[in-house]
Structure 1
């Protein structure tokens, strides 16, 4: 069976930002549901939009408040509205506790008052490296099943895939690490990149498109349709067209080298029988070896260890809480002096 359409870009931030503008242009508004544990680039982008919207509001109206969603509150946590102003709304679901995140996200997505049209959630969160979307396909199906009935499309057009809410699952910290599969007709945009676990170099990211979806971003990029160059670029006001594979790319493709390395790496893996599942199993053995040797106390100990998730869904980093950013930084510096490289994120 044919797989989903794949669009390429230089980084996931660029791809996700363009998807946001596509939904804004299509619906005339952007209503975002996300979590409070996303990577810094998404936090910054949504924060910039929120700050701009707040600048258009009176001070009393710009305060953060809780969206009282009974179904979400029944699960123990409320959804926090970061900003709600005219054509922009941004709500976030607390990622803690991770065990109930999927249920709480699905419950929030069902809000008839919010009517989210852009839902974004990482498969593995950056801060704690915990897998919060354990089954991508099932999660997508649950989210879409919970969404309220759609409103009529704008301008009387026939409803298509791009009139439905966009669900984006960011798999950057899971791609080629946590075994992942989902049906080719799954209703989601799956985002990933070739730098982290693929180790193929920077400036290459991808997003799979759900069946029939053809986003048309407001931030088009000069290479959205190379055929426009054949007519001298057209005239201002001409219809905007998009070519498959470059509608989200933005500028001149600079990901050729990373793609070549990726293709060579995948060919070598195939010849050697090195699957994602085999790599994951090897890392789990390394985890087990480390966990057996942990002391009961200290910066890296059973006491500070964030409880590991079950091996089938566990990401490839173990995390240890230090209580504060300062202590975490000091622990990282101490370990570095002993030749151990660690990454300090928050506490």
Structure 2
């Protein structure tokens, strides 16, 4: 099995005894991200006030091009960046003016949307219907919802949603809107949105498989959907000279979902990592194949008695259900073997920085349980 540890020397040297199998949670950063972080700092002190010309004129468009290439998006200007997906979600929902908002979502969404939708429900701002993935498209086709929100890959189980194209046929600028949470899919498995780019929103970011860390979330916003978000910052303003004095203008592209001043270092890191991957000839299919080989090898020798929730899934982690999950995680952590737990599900995630020796160490630790 080929090793790519040379691309992650700083992260490995920071904790050389650690076996990190939580790439699905907090992916280790490659050395290229350090170069990007330094570039952000150096531009800040060298250019001072003028750094925004470089950020918005060079770094931002480069990041847009990388995301568009990854997802098959025909127009990079449909992409906007923010510190996290939650604030992008709030701006999207603020552009839907019906209240209470009728929301359809799955019963396995990440805590951020689960919590926010529950609070909207509690406040009377939304009526939320939560259904399993296997009934999701059928329920959406009833036409009773304003917002349809679902993860491409479920964070807890690794189940992959296959109905994006069907949902896209339902989407209209006046509603319903379809929002795909792509965080566990982006750069984990190949994705082509070219056929649905004009009808669905897509949220993801750099924290996981993009290997760039926090601060680089993004939204793909289809043209004509939500031209005037109610939650808005001054970066979203577009100087339209035809507007009467005092009017609130918006950018004509995805920048309409911008907020205010932000830390651009995450975007620098993302661009640096993507540039490195391009130079190395490592696209998502090659990275997924490396992770898939690790996953398959572990499954052949897995010494735990647990229910595998995602057999055959292309998700980049194993989801193992057991009442012992939390205890296993604690005992592994005591040996500096890093995995994570969601309820009674132990998750073991795979990344480019692991190789055959790491896998042997993990299997040994699992046997000691």
Give the TM-score normalised by structure 1.
Answer: 0.70
Q: Does 1:111 align with 2:108?
A: no
User: Which residue of 47, 65, 78 maps to 2:118?
Assistant: 47
Partners of 1:226 and 1:259 in 2: CA distance? 22
Q: Partner of 1:120 in structure 2? A: 149
Partners of 1:43 and 1:215 in 2: CA distance? 26
Give the number of aligned pairs: 267
Closer/same/farther in 2, CA of residues 245 and 146 from structure 1, 3 Å limit? closer
Q: Does 1:339 align with 2:336?
A: yes
Moved over 3 A (4+): 144-147
User: Which residue of 212, 225, 229 maps to 1:213?
Assistant: 225
Contact 1:107/1:146 (8 A) holds in 2: no
Q: Partner of 2:187 in structure 1? A: 176
Partners of 2:158 and 2:164 in 1: CA distance? 21
User: Which residue of 189, 193, 197 maps to 2:201?
Assistant: 189
Q: Does 1:319 align with 2:319?
A: yes
Q: Does 1:258 align with 2:239?
A: no
Matches within 5 A, 1:258-337: 258-295=266-303, 301=304, 303-310=305-312, 313-323=313-323, 327-337=324-334
Q: Partner of 1:81 in structure 2? A: none
Closer/same/farther in 2, CA of residues 144 and 200 from structure 1, 3 Å limit? closer
Closer/same/farther in 2, CA of residues 288 and 21 from structure 1, 3 Å limit? same
Closer/same/farther in 2, CA of residues 247 and 146 from structure 1, 3 Å limit? closer
Q: Partner of 1:76 in structure 2? A: none
Q: Partner of 1:71 in structure 2? A: none
Partners of 1:194 and 1:36 in 2: CA distance? 25
Measure how far apart 1:249 and its partner are.
2.5
Partners of 1:210 and 1:309 in 2: CA distance? 34
Partners of 2:130 and 2:310 in 1: CA distance? 25
Indicate the structure whose relative CO is greater, using CA pairs within 8 Å and at least 6 residues apart. Answer: 2
Give the structure with the larger helix fraction.
2
SS at match of 2:180: strand
Q: Partner of 1:225 in structure 2? A: 237
Closer/same/farther in 2, CA of residues 196 and 19 from structure 1, 3 Å limit? same
Measure how far apart 1:11 and its partner are.
0.7
Can you list the C-alpha shifts for 1:238-296, whole angstroms capped at 9, x where unaligned?
Answer: 43221234322322122x2121221122122112110100000000100111112112x
CA RMSD of aligned residues (A): 2.4
Measure how far apart 1:18 and its partner are.
1.3
Partners of 1:221 and 1:309 in 2: CA distance? 44
Closer/same/farther in 2, CA of residues 346 and 192 from structure 1, 3 Å limit? same
Partners of 1:222 and 1:45 in 2: CA distance? 24
User: Which residue of 129, 133, 143 maps to 1:91?
Assistant: 129
Contact 2:309/2:321 (8 A) holds in 1: no
Can you list the C-alpha shifts for 1:310-340, whole angstroms capped at 9, x where unaligned?
Answer: 2xx51111121123xxx42221111112231
SS at match of 2:148: strand
Measure how far apart 1:184 and its partner are.
5.3
Q: Partner of 1:62 in structure 2? A: none
Measure how far apart 1:307 and its partner are.
4.3
Q: Give unpaired runs (5+ residues) of structure 2.
A: 1-72, 345-369
Partners of 1:293 and 1:140 in 2: CA distance? 35
Contact 2:182/2:203 (8 A) holds in 1: yes
SS at match of 1:315: coil
Q: Give unpaired runs (5+ residues) of structure 1.
A: 54-86, 96-100, 148-160, 296-300
Q: Does 1:3 align with 2:11?
A: no
